[in-house]
Structure 1
């Protein structure tokens, strides 16, 4: 009897691990891109996820269908740990003496997405959700997991997934509308009709000088 991919991964079969990577690496990468909004960070998440998957292979349940929820659960933990490490790094840097800023003129433009502005706006809105709501939304809406698979990935009850997703949808709708209406970093429009107000004396002075 031929062993399933799940059983072969659990047994530590290198060929099965290669099949697992080929089948699910793109899925994990899309999830990480949508969750982080950063292509380079997403590639790191993929690498760390499959390293962890190999380390935890003996914890794969012997029964079940797709291993996608298990991998996305690992990816979720990887991103949590990465975010915590990044916060600790920022905190450490904030305690260092300030350095003179040097402009970076070699920054590359990333054009892999047809609409990077839309991704940025969506990620800004997602970033304002609570972490638990954000994770459920990305898994269920963007990754297409059903409630049971998302619950397995996150280690929570199905009812918890339902309630979190409902709250996430409602909050994200309001936050996205706010982002589209007032994007962060956009300069405030000038008050009034756009004319610069000044004193009548100052405005009239050039005419008086010309008539002298």
Structure 2
């Protein structure tokens, strides 16, 4: 029988190399989630950040929880949020700093990419318009298949909050997509 995540994490406190089993079990799923949230170019680095943070926090892991997925998704969601904050800070800085004359071609490339992304799939735009917390709940439930309880654990919020955020997000997505469907699904 395979040792559960809690057992592996517990043993890794004294034997750090054992933590590799957690990476092997969960990295593909977390990479997929991070790629959906941040893009494939950034997903590898974000995955490394996620597992580095998990490794550093492993001694504080609640060993009553046999499955580390919600814990890892919570860390990954925090990495996404930090990436978004860094990105906003960078864009604000770019607005303040005047570009050098030779940077015009680069600015045109950036502007073209922003326009192209803005005209992306309707669902992407609708998801982007959601509040961060609502988007996190939608992506963790619909795209990653986590239960309400697992999402609550991952985000450190009550299950009732997960339900209300998901309900609100679905209403907004239906309105943005112009559908009367009761169920809006998100697939990567």
Query: For the superposition of Structure 1 and Structure 2, which TM-score range results when normalised by the shorter chain?
Result: 0.7 to 0.9
Cα deviation for residue 62 of structure 1 reads 1.4
Structure-1 residue corresponding to 2:159: 158
In structure 2, the CA distance between the partners of 1:39 and 1:120, relative to structure 1 (3 Å rule), is farther
Question: Which has a greater percent of helix?
Answer: 2
Consecutive unaligned residues of structure 2, counting only runs of 5 or more, are 110-119, 180-188
Cα deviation for residue 4 of structure 1 reads 4.2
Structure-1 residue corresponding to 2:174: 173
Consecutive unaligned residues of structure 1, counting only runs of 5 or more, are 107-118, 179-212
Structure-2 residue corresponding to 1:21: 23
Q: Does 1:31 align with 2:33?
A: yes
Cα deviation for residue 3 of structure 1 reads 6.3
Following superposition of structure 1 onto structure 2, how do residues 78-97 of structure 1 map, counting pairs within 5 Å? 78-97=79-98
Query: SS of 1:64's equivalent?
Result: coil
Following superposition of structure 1 onto structure 2, how do residues 37-116 of structure 1 map, counting pairs within 5 Å? 38-100=39-101, 101-102=104-105
Count of residue correspondences: 167
**Which of the pair has more CA radius of gyration?**
1
CA distance in 2, matches of 1:91, 1:74: 26
Contact 2:27 2:47 in 1 (8 A): yes
TM-score with structure 2 length normalisation?
0.79
* Structure 1 runs of 4+ with >6 Å offset: none
In structure 2, the CA distance between the partners of 1:122 and 1:29, relative to structure 1 (3 Å rule), is farther
Cα deviation for residue 121 of structure 1 reads 3.6
In structure 2, the CA distance between the partners of 1:141 and 1:4, relative to structure 1 (3 Å rule), is closer
Structure-1 residue corresponding to 2:7: 7
CA RMSD in angstroms comes to 2.7
Cα deviation for residue 14 of structure 1 reads 3.1
In structure 2, the CA distance between the partners of 1:39 and 1:52, relative to structure 1 (3 Å rule), is same
